[in-house]
Amino acid sequence: MNKISDIASLEKDFIDNIFDLTSNIRNKWPKIEQVGVGKTICLLFWEPSTRTKLSFEHAAKKLGFDVLDFSPECSSIKKGESFEDTIQTLLAMKVDGFVIRHPEDQISKKIISMLPEDVFYINAGDGNHAHPTQAMLDVYTMKEKFDDLSTMKLTILGDVNHSRVIPSQIELLKKYSCASINFVGPESLISKKFSPSFSEISKDSLADRDILFILRVQKERFKDDDGLDEAGFIKNFQVNNEFLKNSGFKGFLMHPGPMNIDAEITREAANSENSLVLEQVENGLYLRTALLSLIL
Protein backbone atom coordinates (compact mmCIF):
# COMPACT_ATOMS: atom_id res chain seq x y z
CA MET A 1 0.00 0.00 0.00
CA ASN A 2 1.85 3.09 -1.23
CA LYS A 3 -1.07 5.25 -2.41
CA ILE A 4 -3.25 6.82 0.31
CA SER A 5 -6.28 8.54 -1.22
CA ASP A 6 -9.02 7.95 1.36
CA ILE A 7 -9.89 5.93 4.44
CA ALA A 8 -12.34 3.56 2.76
CA SER A 9 -9.56 1.98 0.68
CA LEU A 10 -7.44 1.14 3.74
CA GLU A 11 -7.62 -2.12 5.69
CA LYS A 12 -8.00 -1.86 9.46
CA ASP A 13 -4.83 -3.94 9.95
CA PHE A 14 -2.87 -1.34 7.99
CA ILE A 15 -4.25 1.46 10.18
CA ASP A 16 -3.49 -0.56 13.32
CA ASN A 17 0.12 -0.84 12.11
CA ILE A 18 0.25 2.92 11.56
CA PHE A 19 -1.07 3.54 15.06
CA ASP A 20 1.43 1.11 16.63
CA LEU A 21 4.32 2.72 14.75
CA THR A 22 3.04 6.17 15.71
CA SER A 23 3.30 5.23 19.39
CA ASN A 24 6.77 3.78 18.82
CA ILE A 25 7.96 6.94 17.06
CA ARG A 26 6.46 9.15 19.77
CA ASN A 27 8.37 7.21 22.43
CA LYS A 28 11.67 7.40 20.53
CA TRP A 29 11.39 10.92 19.12
CA PRO A 30 13.62 12.48 17.88
CA LYS A 31 15.83 9.39 17.56
CA ILE A 32 14.17 7.57 14.67
CA GLU A 33 15.49 5.51 11.79
CA GLN A 34 16.22 7.58 8.66
CA VAL A 35 14.48 5.33 6.17
CA GLY A 36 14.10 8.12 3.62
CA VAL A 37 17.78 8.70 2.93
CA GLY A 38 18.44 8.84 -0.81
CA LYS A 39 14.78 9.50 -1.66
CA THR A 40 12.99 12.69 -2.63
CA ILE A 41 9.49 13.71 -1.63
CA CYS A 42 7.56 16.62 -3.14
CA LEU A 43 4.98 18.62 -1.20
CA LEU A 44 2.39 20.14 -3.53
CA PHE A 45 -0.14 22.33 -1.71
CA TRP A 46 -2.63 24.20 -3.89
CA GLU A 47 -4.37 25.47 -0.73
CA PRO A 48 -3.00 27.10 2.44
CA SER A 49 -1.85 24.82 5.22
CA THR A 50 0.09 25.06 8.47
CA ARG A 51 -0.35 21.84 10.46
CA THR A 52 -0.56 19.35 7.59
CA LYS A 53 2.18 20.78 5.39
CA LEU A 54 4.70 21.56 8.11
CA SER A 55 4.21 18.26 9.93
CA PHE A 56 4.80 16.35 6.67
CA GLU A 57 7.87 18.46 5.95
CA HIS A 58 9.25 17.99 9.47
CA ALA A 59 8.52 14.25 9.34
CA ALA A 60 10.13 13.82 5.92
CA LYS A 61 13.30 15.66 6.90
CA LYS A 62 13.55 13.74 10.17
CA LEU A 63 13.35 10.50 8.13
CA GLY A 64 16.16 11.68 5.87
CA PHE A 65 14.18 12.57 2.74
CA ASP A 66 15.20 15.36 0.41
CA VAL A 67 12.15 17.63 0.32
CA LEU A 68 10.91 19.68 -2.63
CA ASP A 69 8.41 22.36 -1.57
CA PHE A 70 6.23 23.14 -4.58
CA SER A 71 4.28 26.40 -4.54
CA PRO A 72 1.76 26.98 -7.36
CA GLU A 73 2.14 30.74 -6.92
CA CYS A 74 5.85 30.53 -7.83
CA SER A 75 5.60 27.89 -10.54
CA SER A 76 4.93 27.58 -14.27
CA ILE A 77 1.26 27.03 -13.44
CA LYS A 78 1.10 30.85 -13.40
CA LYS A 79 2.28 30.70 -17.02
CA GLY A 80 -0.43 28.28 -18.06
CA GLU A 81 1.14 24.89 -17.38
CA SER A 82 -1.48 22.22 -16.63
CA PHE A 83 -1.72 20.13 -13.48
CA GLU A 84 -0.94 17.00 -15.51
CA ASP A 85 2.18 18.52 -17.06
CA THR A 86 3.35 19.67 -13.64
CA ILE A 87 3.14 16.10 -12.27
CA GLN A 88 4.89 14.68 -15.33
CA THR A 89 7.66 17.28 -15.00
CA LEU A 90 8.26 16.35 -11.37
CA LEU A 91 8.27 12.65 -12.20
CA ALA A 92 10.95 13.35 -14.81
CA MET A 93 12.99 14.91 -11.98
CA LYS A 94 12.99 11.50 -10.26
CA VAL A 95 10.68 12.37 -7.36
CA ASP A 96 9.94 9.23 -5.30
CA GLY A 97 6.70 10.36 -3.72
CA PHE A 98 4.12 13.13 -3.41
CA VAL A 99 2.02 14.71 -0.70
CA ILE A 100 -0.68 16.74 -2.45
CA ARG A 101 -3.47 19.08 -1.36
CA HIS A 102 -5.84 20.32 -4.04
CA PRO A 103 -9.23 22.11 -4.06
CA GLU A 104 -10.83 19.74 -6.59
CA ASP A 105 -13.09 17.01 -5.14
CA GLN A 106 -11.70 13.50 -5.64
CA ILE A 107 -8.75 14.63 -7.74
CA SER A 108 -6.81 11.98 -5.82
CA LYS A 109 -8.25 9.36 -8.20
CA LYS A 110 -6.79 11.20 -11.20
CA ILE A 111 -3.45 11.64 -9.43
CA ILE A 112 -3.14 7.93 -8.69
CA SER A 113 -3.84 7.08 -12.34
CA MET A 114 -0.95 9.34 -13.36
CA LEU A 115 1.69 7.88 -11.03
CA PRO A 116 3.90 4.83 -11.61
CA GLU A 117 3.47 1.90 -9.22
CA ASP A 118 6.72 2.62 -7.38
CA VAL A 119 5.93 6.30 -6.67
CA PHE A 120 4.06 6.82 -3.41
CA TYR A 121 1.27 9.33 -2.85
CA ILE A 122 -0.59 10.74 0.14
CA ASN A 123 -3.76 12.78 -0.18
CA ALA A 124 -3.38 15.84 2.07
CA GLY A 125 -6.93 16.98 1.32
CA ASP A 126 -8.89 17.08 -1.94
CA GLY A 127 -11.80 19.49 -1.99
CA ASN A 128 -14.62 18.37 0.29
CA HIS A 129 -13.86 14.72 -0.40
CA ALA A 130 -11.24 13.38 2.00
CA HIS A 131 -8.44 14.17 4.43
CA PRO A 132 -7.23 10.73 5.50
CA THR A 133 -4.21 11.69 7.61
CA GLN A 134 -6.23 14.20 9.64
CA ALA A 135 -8.77 11.46 10.34
CA MET A 136 -5.98 9.09 11.38
CA LEU A 137 -4.37 11.53 13.79
CA ASP A 138 -7.75 12.47 15.26
CA VAL A 139 -8.80 8.86 15.84
CA TYR A 140 -5.34 8.02 17.18
CA THR A 141 -5.76 10.87 19.69
CA MET A 142 -9.21 9.53 20.63
CA LYS A 143 -7.78 6.03 21.14
CA GLU A 144 -5.24 7.41 23.57
CA LYS A 145 -8.16 8.42 25.80
CA PHE A 146 -10.66 5.64 24.95
CA ASP A 147 -8.93 2.45 23.89
CA ASP A 148 -12.29 0.81 23.09
CA LEU A 149 -13.77 3.24 20.59
CA SER A 150 -16.94 1.18 20.31
CA THR A 151 -18.07 2.67 23.63
CA MET A 152 -16.99 6.27 22.93
CA LYS A 153 -19.68 8.93 22.45
CA LEU A 154 -18.76 11.65 19.96
CA THR A 155 -20.54 14.90 19.12
CA ILE A 156 -19.43 16.91 16.08
CA LEU A 157 -20.27 20.63 16.22
CA GLY A 158 -20.22 23.23 13.49
CA ASP A 159 -19.82 23.32 9.72
CA VAL A 160 -20.10 19.64 8.83
CA ASN A 161 -21.24 20.21 5.24
CA HIS A 162 -18.00 21.83 4.11
CA SER A 163 -15.61 19.62 6.04
CA ARG A 164 -13.39 17.06 4.29
CA VAL A 165 -12.20 15.90 7.71
CA ILE A 166 -15.53 14.55 8.92
CA PRO A 167 -16.33 12.05 6.13
CA SER A 168 -12.85 10.55 6.56
CA GLN A 169 -13.17 10.52 10.34
CA ILE A 170 -16.58 8.84 10.30
CA GLU A 171 -15.31 6.21 7.84
CA LEU A 172 -12.38 5.44 10.13
CA LEU A 173 -14.47 5.33 13.29
CA LYS A 174 -16.73 2.78 11.60
CA LYS A 175 -13.72 0.49 11.30
CA TYR A 176 -13.42 0.68 15.11
CA SER A 177 -17.16 0.09 15.65
CA CYS A 178 -17.86 3.56 17.04
CA ALA A 179 -21.61 3.96 16.59
CA SER A 180 -22.53 6.82 18.94
CA ILE A 181 -21.91 9.85 16.73
CA ASN A 182 -24.22 12.85 16.52
CA PHE A 183 -24.06 16.39 15.15
CA VAL A 184 -24.87 19.84 16.51
CA GLY A 185 -25.14 23.15 14.67
CA PRO A 186 -27.31 25.30 12.42
CA GLU A 187 -29.46 23.33 9.97
CA SER A 188 -27.81 25.23 7.10
CA LEU A 189 -24.44 23.64 8.00
CA ILE A 190 -25.56 20.05 8.57
CA SER A 191 -27.30 18.20 5.76
CA LYS A 192 -29.76 15.39 6.41
CA LYS A 193 -27.19 12.71 5.57
CA PHE A 194 -25.49 13.55 8.87
CA SER A 195 -27.81 12.05 11.46
CA PRO A 196 -28.87 12.37 14.21
CA SER A 197 -28.39 16.12 14.27
CA PHE A 198 -29.64 18.85 16.60
CA SER A 199 -30.05 22.54 15.86
CA GLU A 200 -30.19 23.70 19.46
CA ILE A 201 -28.49 23.00 22.77
CA SER A 202 -30.70 22.23 25.73
CA LYS A 203 -29.83 21.89 29.41
CA ASP A 204 -27.36 19.01 29.96
CA SER A 205 -27.87 17.74 26.40
CA LEU A 206 -24.16 16.89 26.10
CA ALA A 207 -23.67 15.60 29.62
CA ASP A 208 -23.07 12.00 28.51
CA ARG A 209 -20.78 12.78 25.54
CA ASP A 210 -17.07 11.91 25.70
CA ILE A 211 -15.67 14.12 22.95
CA LEU A 212 -16.88 17.36 21.39
CA PHE A 213 -15.23 17.76 17.98
CA ILE A 214 -15.47 21.41 16.92
CA LEU A 215 -15.33 22.68 13.34
CA ARG A 216 -14.79 26.19 12.05
CA VAL A 217 -17.16 27.69 9.51
CA GLN A 218 -15.40 27.14 6.17
CA LYS A 219 -16.68 30.17 4.28
CA GLU A 220 -14.09 29.65 1.55
CA ARG A 221 -16.04 26.51 0.50
CA PHE A 222 -19.49 28.10 0.51
CA LYS A 223 -21.49 27.86 -2.70
CA ASP A 224 -23.72 30.66 -3.97
CA ASP A 225 -26.78 29.30 -2.17
CA ASP A 226 -25.01 28.76 1.17
CA GLY A 227 -25.69 31.19 3.94
CA LEU A 228 -25.07 31.66 7.65
CA ASP A 229 -26.17 33.99 10.42
CA GLU A 230 -22.71 34.38 11.97
CA ALA A 231 -23.93 36.31 15.00
CA GLY A 232 -26.55 33.63 15.64
CA PHE A 233 -23.95 30.88 15.26
CA ILE A 234 -21.70 32.50 17.85
CA LYS A 235 -24.60 33.11 20.22
CA ASN A 236 -25.99 29.58 20.05
CA PHE A 237 -23.02 27.33 19.30
CA GLN A 238 -19.78 29.00 20.31
CA VAL A 239 -17.93 26.68 22.71
CA ASN A 240 -17.31 28.86 25.74
CA ASN A 241 -17.77 28.53 29.50
CA GLU A 242 -21.49 29.30 29.31
CA PHE A 243 -22.01 26.74 26.52
CA LEU A 244 -20.13 24.06 28.47
CA LYS A 245 -22.03 24.78 31.66
CA ASN A 246 -25.45 24.81 29.98
CA SER A 247 -24.82 21.69 27.88
CA GLY A 248 -23.30 19.80 30.82
CA PHE A 249 -20.35 18.73 28.67
CA LYS A 250 -17.38 17.52 30.74
CA GLY A 251 -15.45 15.49 28.17
CA PHE A 252 -12.55 16.32 25.86
CA LEU A 253 -12.53 19.13 23.30
CA MET A 254 -10.98 18.56 19.88
CA HIS A 255 -10.51 20.78 16.82
CA PRO A 256 -8.69 19.94 13.56
CA GLY A 257 -7.54 23.54 13.10
CA PRO A 258 -7.21 26.21 12.16
CA MET A 259 -9.27 27.65 14.98
CA ASN A 260 -11.13 30.92 14.56
CA ILE A 261 -10.89 32.15 18.13
CA ASP A 262 -14.05 33.86 19.40
CA ALA A 263 -16.06 32.39 16.53
CA GLU A 264 -16.64 28.64 17.06
CA ILE A 265 -14.49 28.51 20.24
CA THR A 266 -13.01 30.89 22.79
CA ARG A 267 -9.36 31.05 23.76
CA GLU A 268 -10.24 29.95 27.28
CA ALA A 269 -11.97 26.80 26.05
CA ALA A 270 -9.22 26.03 23.53
CA ASN A 271 -6.58 26.26 26.27
CA SER A 272 -8.56 24.43 28.94
CA GLU A 273 -7.40 21.26 30.69
CA ASN A 274 -9.87 19.20 28.66
CA SER A 275 -8.62 20.50 25.31
CA LEU A 276 -6.72 18.02 23.11
CA VAL A 277 -6.04 20.52 20.32
CA LEU A 278 -2.26 20.67 20.74
CA GLU A 279 -2.09 16.92 21.37
CA GLN A 280 -3.70 16.49 17.94
CA VAL A 281 -0.99 18.66 16.39
CA GLU A 282 1.80 16.74 18.11
CA ASN A 283 0.28 13.37 17.24
CA GLY A 284 -0.02 14.54 13.63
CA LEU A 285 3.76 14.84 13.44
CA TYR A 286 4.32 11.32 14.79
CA LEU A 287 1.54 9.76 12.70
CA ARG A 288 2.68 11.32 9.44
CA THR A 289 6.23 10.19 10.22
CA ALA A 290 4.88 6.67 10.75
CA LEU A 291 2.90 6.76 7.51
CA LEU A 292 5.89 7.93 5.46
CA SER A 293 7.91 5.10 7.00
CA LEU A 294 5.35 2.46 6.03
CA ILE A 295 4.52 3.42 2.46
CA LEU A 296 8.06 3.60 1.06
Residue type (1 letter), 125: G
Nearest alpha-carbon partner for 215 in 278, 264, 180: 264
Q: CA–CA separation, 16 vs 195, rounded Å? A: 27
- The per-residue pLDDT for range 107-141, each reduced to its tens digit, is 999 999 999 999 999 999 998 899 999 999 999 99
The reported pLDDT for the residue numbered 226 is 67
Q: What is the mean pLDDT of residues 4-32?
A: 97
Contacts of 134 (CB under 8 A, 6+ apart): 52, 125, 165, 168, 169, 256, 284
**Of 46-50, 55-59, 279-283, which gets the smallest average pLDDT?**
46-50
CATH T-level assignment (fold) for domain 3-130+281-294: Rossmann fold (3.40.50)
The reported pLDDT for the residue numbered 269 is 98
CATH T-level assignment (fold) for domain 133-275: Rossmann fold (3.40.50)
Share of the chain above pLDDT 90, in %: 89
Cβ burial of 242 (10 Å; 0-12, 13-18, 19+) is exposed
* Backbone angles phi and psi of 140, in degrees to 5: -60, -45
- The per-residue pLDDT for range 172-230, each reduced to its tens digit, is 999 999 999 999 999 989 999 999 999 999 999 999 999 999 999 987 777 766 677 88
Domain(s) labelled CATH 3.40.50.1370 in the chain stretch across 3-130+281-294, 133-275
Give the 3-state DSSP-derived string for 37-103, with helices as H, strands as E and coil as C: CCCEEEEEECCCCCHHHHHHHHHHHHCCCEEEEECHHHCHHHHCCCHHHHHHHHHHCCCCEEEEEEC
Does residue 54 surpass a pLDDT of 70? yes
